């Protein structure tokens, strides 16, 4: 941390001036579509531990992402995140567009949303996610499906007394769901040195009929795996039902071409194939009981603490290899890897061989200790979500990094301020919210701001004006046509005499999709030139205030950044370094929204 070294006051002055100049630069590079591009100051934490955007027309605060590397190939489709972490005051489901701009965000499905994804059920696309309690390291919650209007189409659980976990929620082509569950049961743990009755968190997966919740298939790890094959240290766990030992830790399930189940066990460092017919273990890849000959000198089987194993075409598997966790448990293992990666491996289940097809190495040579995902896109490109490290990377199929996006500064990755269990790309999604576009008027400066959370088909906005009439009917006149620009579009209010305005959303073909509310214009005419002067004076005053109060508040700033905790009750939203600097912990501004009757 730059603030932790001893720094005499002259040096502090230099640091302060340097930060001030850098921050000014950062402001300049911020891309208007809502993402920051290649900002070093961002990575140094100058915008805070979790830089967020804010809007005039909607009370939403998505992350301000930083694009460290970019290729236009990555602008396809939508990126789906479920953000949480100590800096995320309201965990949210988030959909970003091709250039990192917000498309949809909903904080109302709390307390925790996990595994946000677009999946097909009976031929229709749904936004699917799990929501519930995650305090035990697995989930107690329910599974959701939202329709294109962002309404709950279905909320379901497996028909069982056991809890519904978040780790997997995969809808199959048979319209069933593959789901996980954890269960506290008594088991003999004497091979791990536990005397008397031992207790475990058993790992289960189920295939469930979504319509009825009926369990079609259920499998329990402890029936097939020896508890002492785990790599996880038992320490004091396993002695009571209050502290069971999580020996297996299931974190993904998929189905292969034969209909058999492919299960990932984080704590066994292995992937198991389970027969759909008999429930028996057909083979194990990796871990202590690996059945495969590794034709790649060990690189196809040396994954550890892995996540999100998925079946790919041609008998291949994709694996997100956390690996770094070895460092954290160094006493357990020979530590030979610390860079997280995605793996594509080729199985030959006749000859029982495995070969590494491609590795996708973390571009920052970082290791994410937990969570994470790997998705092979239709184009053959690969998307890795770094889980505990808030970011995602897209690669070409041959492993070259195309795009690298950070959701908070890389220097803060080890602190868990922000994370997304998985990151998914949806090639297509059509969002048609049931709401109206949101509008905010800045009367003084003469601007209208418009946005429509979740609408994917809007390409332009049409501002219309009207006069007050004595009758019921207000006649509107088209005044300004403008293209949609990111999540929120700023439109200069037209000159002229009018009492009301509204903004109409139009699609590519020019069809009207919806209208904002009609609002009183109350336009205060300020000549543009005087506006500029006003900005200049405000800017000057601002710099003076910064230099004076910046020093006085340095202690507060340091405390804020080092502990990473805001004072209770105040929501820390960094919209630039100014907020941190002046107030230590800025309050969220409740923007006045104008909806006169």
Ligand X SMILES: *[C@@H]1O[C@H](CO)[C@@H](O)[C@H](O)[C@H]1NC(C)=O
Residues at the site binding ligand X, with contacts judged by CB under 6 A:
31-33, 99, 191, 226, 228-229, 288, 350-351, 353, 465-467, 477, 497-498
Burial of 151 (0-12, 13-18, 19+ CB in 10 A): exposed
231, 184, 139, 155 alpha-carbon torsion, rounded to 10°? 140
H or E segment to which residue 16 belongs? helix 9-29
Quick one: 193 or 259, whose CB is closer to ligand X?
193
Q: Which residues of 103-141 are buried (b: 16+ CB within 10 A; e: fewer)?
A: bbbbbebeebbbbbbbbebeeebbbbbbbbebeeebbbb
Least distance in angstroms from the C-beta of 169 to ligand X? 32
Closer of 330 and 495 to ligand X (Cβ): 495
3-class DSSP assignment, residue 236: coil
Least Å from the CB of residue 477 to ligand X: 4
Nearest to 207 by CA among 216, 198, 194, 197: 216
In whole angstroms, the minimum distance from the beta carbon of 77 to ligand X comes to 15
Taking the complex as a whole, the smallest distance from the CB of residue 419 to ligand X amounts, in Å, to 25
Distance of CA 13 to the CA centre of its chain: 37
The answer to whether the CB of 51 falls within 8 A of the CB of 412 is no
Ordered strands of the 261-265 beta sheet? 250-255, 261-265, 270-274, 281-286
CB of 517 to ligand X, least distance (A): 17
Rounded-to-integer distance, Cα 321 and Cα 101, Å: 29
Taking the least distance from each CB to ligand X, the nearer of 269 and 308 is 269
Q: Which is nearer to ligand X, 435 or 467 (CB)?
A: 467
Q: Is 597 exposed, middle or buried (0-12, 13-18, 19+ CB in 10 A)?
A: exposed
Residue closer to ligand X, measured from CB, 197 or 469: 469
Rounded Cα distance between 308 and 310, Å, is 6
Kindly state the smallest distance separating residue 316's Cβ from ligand X, in Å. Answer: 15
Distances in Å between the Cα of 191 and the Cα atoms of 195, 233, 265 are 9, 13, 20
Q: Tell the smallest beta-carbon distance from residue 393 to ligand X (Å).
A: 17
Least gap, CB of 190 to ligand X (angstroms): 8
Minimum separation from the CB atom of position 124 to ligand X (A): 31
**DSSP 8-state symbol, 19:** H
Phi, psi of 143 (to 5 degrees): -105, 135
Question: Measured between alpha carbons, how far is 451 from 323 in angstroms, rounded to an integer?
Answer: 42
Q: How far is the CB of 89 from ligand X (least distance, A)?
A: 27
Query: Which residue, 309 or 463, has its beta carbon nearer to ligand X?
Result: 463
Toward ligand X, which CB reaches closer, 197 or 351? 351
Our CB check for ligand X shows the closer of 359 and 485 to be 485
φ and ψ at residue 75, rounded to 5 degrees? -80, 15
Closest CA to 418 of 85, 13, 62: 85
CB of 238 to ligand X, least distance (A): 15
Residue (230 or 370) nearer to ligand X, CB:
230
Phi-psi region of 361 (alpha: psi -120 to 50; beta: other; left: phi over 0): beta
Residue among 97 and 433 whose Cβ is closer to ligand X:
97
Q: Per DSSP, what are the bridge partners of residue 447? A: 442, 492
Q: Under a CB-based contact definition with an 8 Å cutoff, are residues 374 and 308 in contact? A: yes
DSSP assignment string, 387-448 = TTSSEEEEE-TTS-EEEEEESS-GGGGGGTSSEEEEEEEES------SSPPEEEEETTTTEE
Least distance in Å: CB of 29 to ligand X? Answer: 10
Identify which of residues 170 and 466 has a Cβ nearer to ligand X in the complex: 466
Task: Select 191 or 562, whichever has its Cβ closest to ligand X.
Answer: 191
């Amino acid at each position: 941390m730059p603030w932790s070294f001893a720094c005499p006051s002259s040096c502090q002055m230099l640091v302060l001036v340097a930060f001030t100049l850098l921050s000014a630069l950062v402001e300049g590079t911020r891309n208007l579509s809502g993402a920051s591009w290649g900002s070093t100051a961002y990575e140094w934490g100058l915008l805070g531990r979790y830089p967020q955007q804010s809007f005039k027309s909607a009370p939403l605060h998505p992350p301000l992402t930083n694009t460290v590397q970019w290729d236009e190939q990555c602008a396809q489709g939508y990126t789906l995140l479920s953000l949480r972490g100590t800096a995320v005051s309201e965990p949210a489901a988030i959909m970003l567009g091709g250039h990192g701009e917000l498309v949809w965000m909903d904080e109302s499905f709390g307390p925790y949303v996990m595994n946000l994804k677009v999946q097909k059920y009976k031929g229709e696309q749904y936004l699917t996610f799990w929501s519930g309690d995650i305090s035990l390291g697995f989930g107690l919650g329910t599974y959701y499906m939202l329709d294109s209007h962002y309404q709950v189409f279905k909320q379901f659980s497996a028909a069982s007394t056991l809890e519904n976990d978040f780790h997997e929620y995969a809808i199959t082509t048979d319209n069933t769901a593959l789901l996980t569950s954890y269960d506290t049961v008594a088991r003999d743990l004497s091979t791990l040195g536990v005397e008397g009755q031992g207790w475990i968190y058993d790992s289960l997966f189920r295939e469930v009929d979504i319509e009825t919740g009926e369990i079609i298939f259920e499998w329990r790890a402890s029936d097939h795996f020896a508890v002492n094959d785990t790599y996880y240290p038992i320490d004091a766990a396993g002695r009571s039902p209050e502290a069971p030992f999580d020996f297996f830790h299931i974190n993904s399930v998929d189905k292969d071409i034969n209909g058999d189940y492919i299960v990932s066990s984080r704590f066994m460092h292995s992937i198991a194939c389970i027969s759909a017919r008999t429930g028996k273990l057909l083979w194990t890849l990796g871990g202590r009981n690996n059945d495969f000959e590794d034709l790649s000198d060990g690189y196809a089987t040396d994954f550890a603490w892995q996540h999100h194993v998925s079946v790919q075409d041609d008998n291949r598997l994709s694996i997100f290899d956390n690996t770094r966790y070895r460092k954290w448990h160094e006493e357990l293992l020979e530590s030979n890897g610390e860079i997280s990666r995605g793996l594509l491996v080729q199985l030959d289940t006749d000859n029982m061989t495995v070969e590494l097809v491609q590795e996708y190495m973390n571009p920052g040579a970082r290791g994410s200790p937990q969570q994470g995902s790997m998705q092979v896109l239709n184009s053959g490109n690969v998307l890795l979500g770094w889980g505990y490290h808030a970011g995602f990377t897209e690669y070409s199929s041959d492993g070259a990094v195309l795009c690298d996006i950070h959701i908070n500064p890389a220097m803060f990755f080890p602190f868990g301020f922000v994370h997304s269990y998985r990151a998914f790309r949806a090639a297509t999604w059509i969002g048609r919210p049931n709401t109206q576009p949101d509008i905010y008027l800045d009367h003084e400066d003469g601007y209208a701001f418009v946005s429509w959370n979740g609408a994917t088909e809007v390409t332009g906005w049409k501002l219309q004006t009207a006069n007050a009439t004595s009758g019921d009917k207000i006649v509107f006149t088209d005044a300004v046509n403008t293209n949609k620009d990111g999540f929120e579009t700023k439109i200069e209010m037209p000159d002229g005499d009018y009492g009301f305005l509204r903004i109409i959303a139009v699609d590519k073909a020019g069809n009207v999709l919806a209208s904002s509310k009609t609002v009183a214009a109350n336009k205060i005419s300020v000549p543009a030139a005087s506006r500029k002067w006003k900005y200049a004076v405000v800017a000057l005053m601002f710099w003076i205030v910064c230099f004076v109060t910046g020093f006085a508040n340095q202690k507060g700033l340091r405390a804020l950044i080092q502990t990473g905790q805001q004072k209770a009750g105040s929501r820390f939203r960094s919209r630039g370094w100014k907020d941190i600097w002046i107030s230590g912990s800025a309050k969220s501004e409740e923007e006045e929204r104008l909806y006169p009757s």
